[in-house]
């Protein structure tokens, strides 16, 4: 499979660039590839998806030299395995709250000796054409990036312990869920929420690890269309159709 461009860019101290989707679209994946972007990302927690959709998503991404990334719906082992066995190489995992959960995620996602990921789909083994299985497992480990979301006050209270777990280099946030957990629903910019996030980010960086925003940036396809339509409506006759 193609190299994980997000990991490549991270190792170089650069940001990977991509497009984020809350709906499936072959054409958007092709557009990202034609524009020589690094990745496409799919939201599998708050958007409708199926394993068949993700199979196609990964195949399309591989064909265009893009790194497929997605937010999986939960921390259930069988669900995580289903997505990484399709060929997903970056997974964001919601609602990490403690060290034990972090250790379980590493176990679920990586082959031995890093973890105990179950062996695996025909697609990952190139339909049996991989002859050196140990090399295939090592390479699959090296090309997978797991990105847990720290999105509750409980998670931030346990962050020091979470950061001791090997195998997790990057953490995402969840500002709206953090605000809810702190008693400020709908107020992700509340000063108390921002303070907790800033302190957590400082701890993550001090541990030699990253926030997702440190290593990747993307345009949300739905928001991009919304903003383009608003610009068209504001401009009136200044916008010409194709």
How much is the pTM? 0.91
Per the CB < 8 A criterion, the answer to whether 106 and 168 are in contact is yes
Mean pLDDT calculated for residue range 127-140: 91
Mean pLDDT in the chain?
94
Nearest to 172 by CA among 99, 104, 93: 93
Higher pLDDT, 88 or 233: 88
- Pairwise CA distance, residues 138 & 131, whole Å: 13
The pLDDT of residue 135 is above 80: yes
Please tell me the predicted confidence (pLDDT) of residue 129.
Answer: 86
CA torsion angle 91 51 4 164 (round to 10): 20
What is the four-CA torsion angle of 14, 177, 75, 167, rounded to 10 degrees? 30
Model confidence pLDDT, tens digit, residues 145-163: 999 999 999 999 999 999 9
pLDDT in tens, 26-57: 999 999 999 999 999 999 999 888 888 999 99
Among candidates 211, 117, 224, 98, which has minimal Cα distance to 165? Answer: 98
What's the confidence (pLDDT) of residue 73? 94
SS3 label, residue 41: strand
Instruction: Give the confidence band of 242 by pLDDT, cuts at 50, 70, 90.
Output: low
Cα(181)–Cα(194) distance, rounded to whole angstroms?
13
Inter-residue contact 36 to 7 (CB < 8 Å): no
- The residue assigned the tokens 């679920």 is 108
Q: Is the pLDDT of residue 237 over 70?
A: no
**Domain parsing of the chain, residue ranges:** 5-238
CATH class of the 5-238 domain in this structure: alpha beta
Cβ-Cβ contacts under 8 Å for 173 (sequence gap 6 or more): 149, 150, 151, 197, 211, 212
Of 2-6, 18-22, 86-90, 231-235, where does mean pLDDT reach its minimum?
231-235
Burial code (b: 16+ CB inside 10 Å, e: under 16) for 157-178 equals: ebbeebbebebbbbbbbbbebb
Q: Is the pLDDT of residue 186 over 60?
A: yes
- Decide if pLDDT at 7 tops 60: yes
Write down the pLDDT at residue 49.
85
Q: Could you read off the pLDDT of 69-92 as tens digits, one per residue? A: 999 999 999 999 999 999 999 999
- Please tell me the predicted confidence (pLDDT) of residue 215: 97
Q: What is the pLDDT of residue 123?
A: 86
**What is the C-alpha radius of gyration for the chain, rounded to an integer number of angstroms?**
19
Average pLDDT, stretch 2-15? 94
Please choose, from the candidates 150, 114, 144, the residue with its C-alpha nearest in 3D space to the C-alpha of residue 6: 144
Residues 113-147 as b/e (b if ≥16 CB within 10 A, e otherwise) read ebbebeebeeebbeeeeeeeeeebbeebbebbbbb
Tell me what the mean pLDDT of segment 169-177 comes to: 97
In the prediction, which pLDDT does 234 show? 84
**pLDDT score, position 48:** 85
């Amino acid at each position: 499979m193609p190299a994980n461009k997000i990991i490549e860019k991270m190792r170089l101290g650069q940001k990977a660039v991509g497009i984020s989707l809350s709906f499936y679209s072959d054409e958007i994946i092709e557009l990202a590839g034609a524009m020589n972007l690094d990745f496409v990302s799919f939201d599998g927690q708050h958007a409708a998806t199926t394993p068949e959709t993700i199979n196609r998503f990964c195949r399309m991404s591989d064909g265009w030299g893009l790194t497929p990334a997605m937010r999986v719906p939960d921390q259930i082992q069988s669900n995580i395995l289903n997505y990484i066995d399709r060929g997903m190489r970056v997974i964001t995992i919601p609602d990490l709250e403690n060290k034990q959960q972090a250790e379980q995620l590493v176990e679920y996602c990586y082959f031995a000796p890093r973890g105990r990921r179950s062996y695996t789909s025909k697609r990952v083994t190139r339909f049996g054409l991989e002859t050196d299985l140990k090399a295939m497992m090592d390479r699959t480990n090296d090309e997978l990036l797991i990105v847990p979301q720290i999105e509750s006050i409980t998670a931030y209270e346990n962050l020091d312990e979470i950061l001791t777990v090997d195998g997790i280099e990057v953490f995402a946030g969840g500002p709206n869920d953090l605000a809810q957990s702190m008693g400020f629903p709908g107020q992700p910019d509340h000063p108390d929420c921002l303070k907790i996030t800033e302190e957590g980010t400082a701890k993550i960086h001090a541990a030699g690890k990253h926030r997702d925003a440190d290593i990747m940036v993307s345009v949300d396809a739905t928001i991009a269309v919304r903003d383009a339509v608003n610009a068209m409506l504001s401009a009136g006759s200044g916008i010409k159709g194709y």
